[in-house]
Chains A and B, each alone.
Chain A
């Protein structure tokens, strides 16, 4: 079965989030369960209908088993590929295949982390990871990761294409302006370009506002076959395509710092969806750092290589701009519980349904979702989601 044959064969029919921002006293699995329950209920299904599971996490090695036990489900299809935060976009292909093959009927994709408020926090997790997953040719130089790896990417992009810190700041400010329209967003206080530029430097050229939030949060969505989707409670968001590119692990292994695997994933995803970048109404991009948005716009072909900086100028991707990006506020201003891919997907679904309130972009029929993973754009997964009109 080719990627193109899978076009529109499955849809996202339920979404749920929980514990976004701070979930004091809760565990990863507890807020994941709340999000999973909300997603299943949103779809008008029961938890016992779930017979497929896609999930991953940055701590437990056997995480899908923790989730199975927590939810009390016995899925016929289980998928635990972890390629970083893009995993929850990449899971869509595995779900599409399993659904099309009739292996299962209802797939739950879910994630949850309380990294912000957990007593075993981000610092401890990072230290543990350095032991379990060493990087012997990088860690002696003490890159402050993930920021430093993306900072190296940004610095090279600035060198080759004249991208400026102001361009990066435009991305952060646009994300914040969207967040101000989203009651679920964590960072909603006003932010302007000068504030971004003058904030505390983390790893040049990034100030703290170029870096994603560190929050808690859980996200879950439910997929089923298109024929069943149209009879369910919500307006389906059809998955026209999904493709993933995986090129390296560390920033030292990234061949050209100005081109990410999005170039490959987006090319395959657009081809299978029989769409071009000009056909999409908006983008939900995993903005781990401000440079992610600029490079993803280029590598997806929304704008030419090297022109991502000028493309985002003058509020072009902010509310009221010519091309909406990250309408929930993104990882920079809405929510970033370590792995964000499911949240980008969910915002796309909500926009396609037309249920985004103040931040709703009217006439949204096609959304491109681009997931980012690894410490250095190492994995990128691109999906095209659309309403029935585009099928």
Chain B
């Protein structure tokens, strides 16, 4: 996959996000998906990792509301999302109050821009 002149896995991941594409890796050696991006597969130590676009759907594995004073922006959600491809990532569920995010909720990814950075967040599927 990653040739050195195109940067490493972390560099390429963020580049893709900036171009509006959310990608994860698939290891052709062992057939498992990988996230976060790496250059050596954490399951089989193979190097045949290639970028794939995930379905973008998943389920909330765990969730917390970080409490913050209103003048600093108020409370917000931090969740762990299990993508249907079998990988987990930290993210945030948007579109509903943070206290209403529930474990087991079906969610779908979308890319937003925050403080000049492209970021994957999730919305509840029934809110699509």
Give the interface of A toward B (CB within 8 A): 136-138, 140-144, 148, 151-153, 155-156, 159, 200-205, 250-252, 257
**In the complex, chain B residues 58-98 whose Cβ is within 8 Å of any chain A Cβ:** 61-67, 76, 78-80, 88-92
Q: Is the CB of A152 within 8 A of B63?
A: yes
What is the minimal beta-carbon distance from B34 to any residue of chain A, in angstroms? 12
Q: Is the CB of A204 within 8 A of B90?
A: no
Q: Is the CB of A142 within 8 A of B76?
A: yes
Q: Is the CB of A142 within 8 A of B61?
A: no
Q: Is the CB of B99 within 8 A of A204?
A: yes
Q: How far is the CA of A322 from the CA of B45 in the complex (A)?
A: 48
What is the minimal beta-carbon distance from B14 to any residue of chain A, in angstroms? 8
What is the minimal beta-carbon distance from B65 to any residue of chain A, in angstroms? 4
Interface size class of B (residues with CB under 8 A): 20 to 34
Q: List the B residue with the shortest CB-CB distance to A205.
A: B64
Contact of B88 among A155, A159, A204, A252 (CB under 8 A): A252
What is the minimal beta-carbon distance from A313 to any residue of chain B, in angstroms? 23
Give 5 closest A-B pairs by Cβ, nearest first.
A151-B64, A156-B62, A152-B62, A204-B65, A137-B36
Q: Is the CB of B65 within 8 A of A252?
A: no
Q: Is the CB of B64 within 8 A of A203?
A: yes
Q: Is the CB of B117 within 8 A of A140?
A: yes
Q: List the A residue with the shortest CB-CB distance to B37.
A: A137
Whether A155 touches B103, Cβ cut-off 8 Å, given contacts A141-B90, A251-B80, A257-B61, is yes
Give the interface of B toward A (CB within 8 A): 10, 35-36, 61-67, 76, 78-80, 88-92, 99, 103-104, 114, 117, 119
List, in ascending order, chain B residues with CB within 8 A of A141's CB.
78, 90-92, 119
Number of CB contacts from chain A to chain B under 8 A: 69
Q: Say what secondary structure dominates the interface of chain A.
A: mixed
Q: How far is the CA of A228 from the CA of B80 in the complex (A)?
A: 51
Q: Is the CB of A142 within 8 A of B78?
A: yes
Q: List 20 A-B contacts (CB under 8 A).
A: A137-B36, A137-B89, A141-B78, A141-B90, A141-B91, A142-B78, A143-B64, A144-B66, A148-B64, A152-B63, A155-B103, A156-B62, A159-B103, A159-B104, A205-B64, A250-B90, A251-B90, A252-B89, A252-B90, A257-B80
Q: Is the CB of B66 within 8 A of A142?
A: yes
Q: List the A residue with the shortest CB-CB distance to B91.
A: A141
Q: Is the CB of B78 within 8 A of A152?
A: yes
Q: Is the CB of B114 within 8 A of A140?
A: yes
List, in ascending order, chain A residues with CB within 8 A of B80's CB.
152, 251-252, 257
Whether A200 touches B67, Cβ cut-off 8 Å, given contacts A156-B61, A156-B103, A159-B62, is yes
What is the minimal beta-carbon distance from A99 to any residue of chain B, in angstroms? 36
Q: How far is the CA of A204 from the CA of B88 in the complex (A)?
A: 20
Q: List the B residue with the shortest CB-CB distance to A134.
A: B10
Q: List the A residue with the shortest CB-CB distance to B61.
A: A156
Q: How far is the CA of A200 from the CA of B65 in the complex (A)?
A: 13
